[in-house]
Amino acid sequence: MLCLLFILVTLSMISYTLVIQKTQREFLRRQAKSVSRQIVLTRQWIASLGGVWSKDAYSRPHGFLTTYKNDSDTDQASEFYLHNPALATREISSLADLKYGYNFRVVSDLFREPKNEPDGFENDALNKIRNQNLEYADGFDGGLYRYAEPLYVKKGCMKCHGDLDEDVKEPMKSVLLNKYGTRAFGYKVGDVRGIISIQIPRDSVLRILTSVFTWWNFIIGAVSVFLFYFFTRFVIAKPLIRLTEAATQLSKGEIDIDLGVESIQEDTRNEIAQLTLAFERLRKSFQIMYNKISRIKEKGITLPKLR
């Protein structure tokens, strides 16, 4: 019984842990999808405007695409810096990583910036998405949840990634050629430009389990174990032990035994109770046979020996 109880508890914990892992992965996937949608919308908005200009300031680690100086008659001239969708994605990702602990980036096999070169997971995810037409690819890498989703070329993307002769116009054409050369041009609307790669820290399953379980869980678990033990000990094991002892006594010829069948209904649906009634009928049959044999012997009749 103790071994059975241990096995049941162990299997229950394994099952519960697997449910926690599946729930955690589904939660992280939904979170990553939400982040991905926000990235796509932000990039589409920036592309529709032809880029976003910042005045007299830019992020030193990320730089800018090009610059424009306003030499007007004002007291102080202003310098403007252009941020394209790819650059804005890196800047927003840095803020997300600093404030919330997760980050994202857009990577491609035809990357323009070395920072956008795919790593092992991203390169594998990009190939799977392209070759198998997947909606996403995900997995775990140590303490990180990795998620990748295809980034499709939209109409607004053609200003920087379309055909050099037809889609990319001046002055953006000269800016891009001077900065990146002829790399990553020639895309069409609907092509997979790359993937949106998202990394989200994940809690360990042990930490989730300890945060989910409370004293009430332990109390309920202890009560459940006690009820299981009580049921198996007194409802199943005890009657079976009594039947075993009765069978042993019957095998030794002790037929005057009490199986306690007075309180058992004939139409009971309890299998152990039905087995007890069957033993009682067997005991009575033995008793009737024994009484008949005794009366025959009293009359002096010799019974034939069984061969």
The whole-number pLDDT of residue 291 equals 81
Q: How far apart are CA 215 and CA 13, in angstroms?
A: 17
The whole-number pLDDT of residue 23 equals 86
3-state SS, one letter per residue, for 134-202? CCCEEEEECCEEEEEEEEECCHHHHHHHCCCCCCCCCCHHHHHHHHHCCCCCCCCCCCEEEEEEEEEEC
Judged on CB neighbours under 10 Å (0-12, 13-18, 19+), 242 is: middle
- Kindly tell me if the per-residue pLDDT of 94 is higher than 60: yes
154, 193 contact by CB (below 8 A): no
User: How does the average pLDDT of the chain come out, rounded?
Assistant: 84
Region class of 137: left (phi > 0), else alpha (psi between -120 and 50), else beta: beta
| Single-letter residue type at 229 | Y
233, 1 contact by CB (below 8 A): yes
Q: DSSP assignment, residue 233?
A: I
Residue with tokens 């306003």: 70
- Kindly tell me if the per-residue pLDDT of 241 is higher than 80: yes
Region class of 190: left (phi > 0), else alpha (psi between -120 and 50), else beta: left
Local confidence band at 254 (pLDDT 50, 70, 90 cut-offs): confident
Local confidence band at 213 (pLDDT 50, 70, 90 cut-offs): low
Lowest mean pLDDT among 71-75, 101-105, 113-117, 135-139: 71-75
Higher pLDDT, 27 or 276: 27
Local confidence band at 236 (pLDDT 50, 70, 90 cut-offs): confident
The whole-number pLDDT of residue 16 equals 78
The whole-number pLDDT of residue 210 equals 64
C-alpha radius of gyration, the chain, whole number: 40
**216 contact partners, CB below 8 Å, separation of at least 6:** none
Q: How far apart are CA 201 and CA 145, in angstroms?
A: 6
Q: How far apart are CA 184 and CA 162, in angstroms?
A: 9
The whole-number pLDDT of residue 99 equals 87
To the nearest 5 percent, what fractions of the chain are helix, strand and coil? Answer: 55, 15, 30
pLDDT tens, position by position, 56-71: 888 888 888 888 887 6
pLDDT tens, position by position, 256-277: 777 777 777 878 878 888 888 8
Percent above pLDDT 70 for the chain: 92
What average pLDDT does the segment 44-53 reach? 89
Tell me the β-bridge partners of 145. Answer: 140, 200
pTM (predicted TM-score) = 0.66
Q: How far apart are CA 250 and CA 282, in angstroms?
A: 9
**171 contact partners, CB below 8 Å, separation of at least 6:** none
- Kindly tell me if the per-residue pLDDT of 204 is higher than 70: no
The whole-number pLDDT of residue 188 equals 93
Judged on CB neighbours under 10 Å (0-12, 13-18, 19+), 105 is: buried
- Kindly tell me if the per-residue pLDDT of 148 is higher than 70: yes
Q: How far apart are CA 164 and CA 23, in angstroms?
A: 47
Q: H or E segment at 274?
A: helix 271-298
pLDDT tens, position by position, 110-123: 998 888 899 999 99
